[in-house]
Amino acid sequence: MWFIVRTAWLYGDGKNFVKTMLSLAVTHDELSVVCDQPGSPTSAAELARMIHHLEPTDNYGIFHGT
């Protein structure tokens, strides 16, 4: 039995997309990024809590953790 947790655009401590964009916004009047890749910024801490909640269960399968 297994858990598969799908996630995207993790942010938290360390280098990540959200922090990079906030940093660039301070030094640039305009930013250019791709617009054909939808995603959901996901807190690494919240994702860890979700996984911790799943661990003791038998609710196996695929989960979207975003």
Note the pLDDT tens digit of each residue in 17-52.
888 889 999 999 999 888 898 888 899 999 999 999
Q: What is the mean pLDDT of residues 5-25?
A: 89
State CA 62 to chain mean position distance. 16
Residues with Cβ within 8 Å of residue 11, at least 6 apart in sequence: 17, 18, 19, 41, 42, 43, 44
In the chain, where are the structural domains located?
Answer: 3-64
Q: What is the mean pLDDT of residues 3-18?
A: 89
